[in-house]
Structure 1
Amino acid sequence: MSAVTKLIKPNLGALRQLQQYRNIVNLSATAALRSRNELFSQEQRRQREAVGRIEKIEVRYLGLPEDVTLVMNNHISTPYNCAQHLSEGHCKRAALALIDGTVPWDMHRPLQESCTLQLLNFNVSEPHLVNKAFWRTCSFMLGAALQRTFKDEAKLELHSFPGPNIKSGSFVHDIVLGTQSWEPTKAEMRAISAEMVKLSAQDLRIERLEVDKDVAIEMFKDSRYKSEQLPSIAQQNQGRVTLYRLGEHIDISRGPMVASTRFLGKCTISAAHKVASEGAASAFYRIQGVALPSGFTLNHFAYGLLEQRSQKLNSARLPNEPFEEQQQQQMQLS
């Protein structure tokens, strides 16, 4: 974005050198992204092939139009596959699953044993779990939108996003930029918001994959901050790391998340706070936004109040603060 590029008027030779440098950076970033996605897909296939002999499980669906028992494939069938046996409407509306009445479960995550199943949408009587998954998904999508929006000269690096706290009034993603003085214009904030809406329109499935620490380290070897975070994350999860993917964007999160980007409705990226310096030329920024699930509407005045509230600096743990084990549950790395 223009606000984070140094405006100079180089001579012709300098222009050529700058273009060559940009080509190298582009190639490196593209290669790293391609490698990360290839490793994700390879591990996904390996885990599917490792299932071996297919065992049947009974999934007792509880809900409208009536309770029903489905016979599904263990470690293969997902809540979404169960929804496909019910109706197209269930597939479209279900954002999150609830297993055995207590465990929130991603719609595209394979089931691991016989269980009861409830399909949650945003109109359920107790929406806390699905709202929390939606807020987390908004942060995840914001990371993807930021990577699509910023120019290479900005030297954008994704750091992390705090665990969802709906009462805070904003979803968050923390980043590092190669400037100490970024003050985004309204047009730049609208550009990020527009990218979020584009992601929603693409109806991208959100995939979950749990991998060994060594696989995760290889996938994020080009990312300084992810590489620093991974050992501690794996230590808290018996050497495993949970990843999510939408399109080509992959990040670390405990989850769960909603089933698809299409569940994002009206969205505003409302604030960018500089929260700390990072070396001589870079700084941490906290990007914040507010959103409604698709199909939900508010009048202009009410939504404006939500936008104003979301501009206040979110009080979640800052990315430059020391990482403490007991704080991990409050982070995206959770």
Structure 2
Amino acid sequence: MRRQILCFSTQITQNNCFKTSPLIRFLSTQEAIDRRYHLFTLEKKRQAEKIGRIEKIEVQYKGIPNDCTLVMNKGISTPYDCARHLSEWHVDTSALALLDGTVYWDMHRPLEENCTLELQNFTVPEPQQVNRAFWRTCSYMLGACAAVAFKDTVPVKLHSFPGPDIRSGSFIYDVDLPTLGDWSPSHQELVTLGAEYVKLIQKNEPLERLEVSEELALEMFVDNEHKTKQIPSIARNNGKVTLYKVGKHVDISKGPMISHTGQIGRVSVVSVHKLNGSTNSDLKQLYRFQGVALPTGVIINHFAFSILTERAKKLNTAKSPISKVTEPEESESIAMKA
């Protein structure tokens, strides 16, 4: 089954899409992913070229092994670049940056002015914000896995994910599967989803952040009616929408997120629940995908992890965003790829 969309691009001439003459096309899930990735890459390049003359800023690093001053490039250098000046350990373990003691910053987000910098890992004395970024990233990546796990004959429309709530015991992503009436995944299908997740972790992909205009965001998600309904309310304050990219997957989230996928350790996709309006959703085929994970380096035995898994299987009753993103978060399977 193919997905019918309207293209309004004035830039992607190879797809023969023009703003003045909308053209009806049919995009598969993978084609839609590739299209968003292409637009994201072009916009990131455009913003980089717009910087012009390079200015220097001073970053006062505080932490192990010693405090120091780093001279970096304004609008170009990131906390990740700062970590590279320190050690490989800082690069691998730093999940978030803390600027001026108050602002949590993505590791791959360019620095904009002179600041103090602290690098946050999963063992800092107050890990609440790092844990929230970890949980948020896990939800985001669950959507990325769901988007590619199904066969081409099954349309997949990512809806949204509520803000991270570690106390709930599971990270979640709500997915619209319009052709699957009463789907209940088999054990093998959950294993397939988990395998997609592990593959993404092993690629050690960075979580890249980019702010785009409302117009461009609507163009990037023109194939997904749920996202296009959410974007205007997200852009209401400043006309901008914050996007994240991992690999070729692009999605909406206010962030921040952790540095790279390799910082997620043990993970399991444990259940999929049909919502049936139980979480304020009026969609008939909205499914809640749920999982549980631990950061890299956090090791617990099989029995303890099985307790976490059993808890995470229960329906997470967090409200499903309707008109806006609150994070702005051996036999062959019938529905899913083997």
Corresponding letter in the other structure for 1:312:
K
TM-score (norm 1): 0.86
Q: CA RMSD in A?
A: 1.8
Partner of 2:22: none
Partner of 2:298: 296
Partner of 1:35: 35
Question: Is the counterpart of residue 272 in structure 1 residue 267 in structure 2?
Answer: no
Q: Which runs of 5+ in 2 are unaligned?
A: 1-24, 330-338
What is the CA–CA distance in structure 2 between the aligned matches of 1:33 and 1:149, rounded to whole Å?
Answer: 13
What is the CA–CA distance in structure 1 between the aligned matches of 2:275 and 2:224, rounded to whole Å?
Answer: 20
- CA 1:254 to 1:279, structure 2 compared with 1: closer, same or farther past 3 Å? closer
- CA 1:70 to 1:32, structure 2 compared with 1: closer, same or farther past 3 Å? same
Query: Contact between 1:55 and 1:73, CA under 8 Å: does it hold in 2?
Result: yes
Higher mean displacement: 309-318 or 195-204: 309-318
Number of equivalenced pairs: 301
What is the CA–CA distance in structure 1 between the aligned matches of 2:166 and 2:227, rounded to whole Å?
Answer: 25
Corresponding letter in the other structure for 1:333:
P
Higher fraction of helix: 1
Partner of 1:47: 47
What is the CA–CA distance in structure 2 between the aligned matches of 1:309 and 1:31, rounded to whole Å?
Answer: 36
Query: Contact between 1:161 and 1:333, CA under 8 Å: does it hold in 2?
Result: no
1:96-175 correspondence runs (5 A): 96-175=96-175
Partner of 1:190: 191
1:323 Cα shift? Answer: 4.0
The one-character-per-residue Cα deviations of 1:197-250 (angstroms, maximum 9, x if unpaired) are: 111101111100001101101111111111111111111x31100000001100
Partner of 1:314: 316
1:194-273 correspondence runs (5 A): 194-235=195-236, 237-273=237-273
The one-character-per-residue Cα deviations of 1:141-187 (angstroms, maximum 9, x if unpaired) are: 11111112111222211101111111111100000112220011111
Partner of 2:289: 287
Question: Is the counterpart of residue 68 in structure 1 residue 102 in structure 2?
Answer: no
Give the secondary structure class of the aligned counterpart of 2:293: strand
Query: Contact between 2:269 and 2:290, CA under 8 Å: does it hold in 1?
Result: yes
Give the secondary structure class of the aligned counterpart of 1:315: coil
Query: Contact between 1:254 and 1:332, CA under 8 Å: does it hold in 2?
Result: yes
Q: Which runs of 5+ in 1 are unaligned?
A: 1-23
Corresponding letter in the other structure for 2:327:
Q
The one-character-per-residue Cα deviations of 1:280-306 (angstroms, maximum 9, x if unpaired) are: 9x5101111100011211111211111
Corresponding letter in the other structure for 2:270:
S
The one-character-per-residue Cα deviations of 1:129-152 (angstroms, maximum 9, x if unpaired) are: 111101000011111111121112
The percent identity for this pair of structures is 52
TM-score (norm 2): 0.85
What is the CA–CA distance in structure 1 between the aligned matches of 2:245 and 2:276, rounded to whole Å?
Answer: 29
1:54 Cα shift? Answer: 1.3
Query: Contact between 1:275 and 1:318, CA under 8 Å: does it hold in 2?
Result: no
Give the secondary structure class of the aligned counterpart of 1:272: strand
What is the CA–CA distance in structure 2 between the aligned matches of 1:159 and 1:148, rounded to whole Å?
Answer: 15
Query: Contact between 2:214 and 2:232, CA under 8 Å: does it hold in 1?
Result: yes
Give the secondary structure class of the aligned counterpart of 1:154: coil
Corresponding letter in the other structure for 2:328:
L
1:119 Cα shift? Answer: 0.6
